Amino acid sequence: MAGLRNLITDVPGLKVGNASDEELKSGATVLVPDEPAVTSVAIHGGAPGTREIALLEPEQTIEKIDAIVLAGGSAFGLDAGAGVQGRLADLGYGFQIGPVRVPIVPTAILFDLLNGGDKSWGQAAPYRDLGRSALDAIGHEFPLGSVGAGTGATTANLKGGLGSASQVLQNGVTIGAIVAVNALGRATIGDSAHFWAAPFEIDGEFGGRGMAHPLPADSTAVRTKLDGLKAGANTTIAAVATDAILTKGEAKRLAVMAHDGLARALWPAHTPLDGDLVFALSTGQRKLKNGLEDMVQLGAAAAACLARAIARGIYHASPAPGDPVPTWRQRFGR
């Protein structure tokens, strides 16, 4: 069952904010827990762009983070994390070292520099300001599609976008996902309207088309942005979150399992030209009663939520002047 909003903010203790620049065709998304949250990460793509990532490995000292940032802009977009960090420091957040507080803000970026937006910013990229604006906009409700880090995202055949989904497990634990879909490959089965994520869809949340039957002849053809579509470069960046109490090692395993959802929703995935990355965080409000058995269920649900979120991001994308590829709704209607 999906949560009340069918957003990652159905996880208690979590808020999301977005900032977009329509002329830039880029933006930033920030995920903020009410209290510092145990967090880890799994990177399975070959071309990641990141900030403050090594500290998320289970053997490293810092266990909890103050915010997670997803942004466009390639390496320039890493400034969004600095913008969020500065604003949080002003507000008194951060890891305390004597009289000093240092907000911990892991950041991941995608490449959207060739999507038709105006990137002529000179020596001062706008992402620090976009990060601050996203933090100022945090709340429980937020739109999907061409917003935040997904503003100018693309896939091989359709416009990408920001997606989110949630699920409440039978044991009462909530899991949610948020993703900026900018994949090298496709989220649809061939050139059909059907999403690879169709088996996981809940209540027609991305069009209710189901699986293609019969499968199109080109369903498993490897069609990518390298095929002359000039849709810009790549990377799908995501976070999954739960209110289950997790150790940092368990959060790492959750991130690894969640990558299965990315692979089930995109073809191909985890390529040398994608920086595919999934954060996993725990707001630490519900104890898992059955240990490893509950972790299996939680990881499977995280993968399903991420697959659904990917399809929802593309389904809700909206057109803008100069887009190199159409939106799903332009191609297939509602």
For 155, residues 6+ apart whose C-beta sits below 8 A from its C-beta are 181, 182, 183, 185, 186, 187, 225, 231, 266, 314, 325
- The pLDDT tens digits of the residues spanning 136-186 come to 999 999 999 999 999 999 999 999 999 999 999 999 999 999 999 999 999
Extended strands (E) in 22-127? 26-33, 37-43, 50-51, 64-65, 68-71, 95-97, 100-102, 107-109
- The pLDDT tens digits of the residues spanning 242-265 come to 999 999 999 999 999 999 999 999
pLDDT at 228: 62
Cut 0.95: pTM above it: yes
Q: What are phi and psi of 107, to 5 degrees?
A: -135, 140
For the chain, the average pLDDT equals: 95
